[in-house]
Amino acid sequence: MLKVKDLNVYYGTAHVLEEVSLEVEEREMVAVLGANGAGKSTLLKTISGLVRPQSGSIEFQGRDITLLRPDEIVALGITQCPEGRHLFPEMSVYKNLLVGAYIFRRDKNKIARLLSSVYEIFPILRERKEQMAGTLSGGEQQMLAIARALMSEPKLLMLDEMSLGLAPKVVENLFKIIQEINGRGITIILVEQNAAKALATSKRVYVMESGKIAVAGDSLDLSKDPKIRSAYLGI
Ligand code: ATP
């Protein structure tokens, strides 16, 4: 579904992504792990068209999207749920969800269908739909950020650090929900600091170090690898 090939990205003179290649199959859940500053968010932003690569290519469902605009990339079916959520805190849950469906703004029936589908996945958001987003708990805000991403009807959903700063029970629940979303046929790229949960939930994993893919493989195999266990799982 997604083929990223030999991407090089610079911020000024800093070489932040170096010859990064990655592939994701349709319906897969793939994790991207790595320390702070390894380049994970930059990789997602480059796929989304928010950061331009110096060289390399990105292909989505057979189409070269390397130089498309972010809105064109969303319209093709790739949506990023950003680190830090970036909700509109003084707008209601409902209005935040509408923002996610901006590309369908002229299609009221489609928006109604998408709303009912995200409320089915996140019933708490239906209960809280008139509440201001900024007054939700951290876990509910993360749910809203994921739900807003789903309002653009993605084929590929990229989640950046969804579990950051949340209590273990809340994280557990979020991972169950993303498995359900994946089960509905949505392909997922999961950038995570929580390596244990990410390895347990994903099928394959890429580990980034200083802007490069250091290791790639099957999540189950890598979770048994002594190097990965000591570097990322603290075992
Ligand atoms: P984190 O989990 O801490 O966000 P990351 O693996 O997602 O880490 P990136 O955010 O992609 O890493 O950052 C990669 C490198 O690029 C870091 O050295 C960071 O300081 C730098 N960087 C990120 N954004 C910018 C920017 N807009 N301008 C300049 N440098 C940046």
- 203: helix, strand or coil: coil
Q: Is-contact 20 7, C-beta < 8 A?
A: yes
**Other residues' Cβ atoms within 10 Å of the Cβ of residue 188:** 22
Q: Is the CB of 37 under 6 A from ligand 1?
A: yes
Q: Read off the pLDDT of residues 76-130 as tens digits, 9 standing for 90 and up.
A: 999 999 998 899 999 999 999 999 999 999 999 999 999 999 999 999 999 999 9
Task: Please indicate, yes or no, whether residues 51 and 10 belong to a single structural domain of this protein.
Answer: yes
DSSP state of 155: S
The residue contributing the CA closest to ligand 1 atom 9 is 39
Structural domain contains residue 83: no
Provide the H-helix boundaries in 103-194: 108-121, 123-127, 138-150, 168-183
Task: Please indicate, yes or no, whether residues 180 and 234 belong to a single structural domain of this protein.
Answer: yes
Query: How far is the centre of ligand 1, averaged over its atoms, from the C-alpha of 68 (Å)?
Result: 22
Structural domain contains residue 14: yes
Structure pTM?
0.94
Task: Please indicate, yes or no, whether residues 182 and 127 belong to a single structural domain of this protein.
Answer: no
Q: Is the CB of 41 under 6 A from ligand 1?
A: yes
Q: Read off the pLDDT of residues 18-59 as tens digits, 9 standing for 90 and up.
A: 999 999 999 999 999 998 899 999 999 999 999 999 999 999
**CATH code for position 37:** 3.40.50.300
* Closest ligand 1 atom to 11 CA: 29
For residue 44, CA distances in Å to 12, 31, 146, 192 come to 18, 12, 15, 12
Element (H, E) at 130: none
Sequence-distant (≥ 6) Cβ neighbours of residue 110 within 8 angstroms: 101, 104, 153
Task: Please indicate, yes or no, whether residues 182 and 213 belong to a single structural domain of this protein.
Answer: yes
Task: Please indicate, yes or no, whether residues 70 and 159 belong to a single structural domain of this protein.
Answer: yes
Query: How far is the centre of ligand 1, averaged over its atoms, from the C-alpha of 213 (Å)?
Result: 15
Q: Read off the pLDDT of residues 126-164 as tens digits, 9 standing for 90 and up.
A: 999 999 999 999 999 999 999 999 999 999 999 999 998
Whole domain around residue 233: which residue ranges?
A: 1-77+154-235
Task: Please indicate, yes or no, whether residues 96 and 137 belong to a single structural domain of this protein.
Answer: yes
Among 9, 15, 22, 36, which is best to mutate for testing ligand 1, by the most ligand atoms less than 8 A from CB?
36
Domain count, the chain: 2
Task: Give every strand in the sheet of 2-11, ordered side by side.
Answer: 14-24, 2-11, 55-60, 63-64
Can you tell me the distance from the alpha carbon of 210 to that of 202, in angstroms, rounded to the nearest whole number? 22
Task: Please indicate, yes or no, whether residues 102 and 197 belong to a single structural domain of this protein.
Answer: no
Task: Please indicate, yes or no, whether residues 73 and 95 belong to a single structural domain of this protein.
Answer: no
* Closest ligand 1 atom to 38 CA: 6
Task: Please indicate, yes or no, whether residues 149 and 165 belong to a single structural domain of this protein.
Answer: no
Task: Please indicate, yes or no, whether residues 165 and 234 belong to a single structural domain of this protein.
Answer: yes
- Which of 121, 153, 185 terminates a domain? The answer is 153
Query: How far is the centre of ligand 1, averaged over its atoms, from the C-alpha of 39 (Å)?
Result: 6
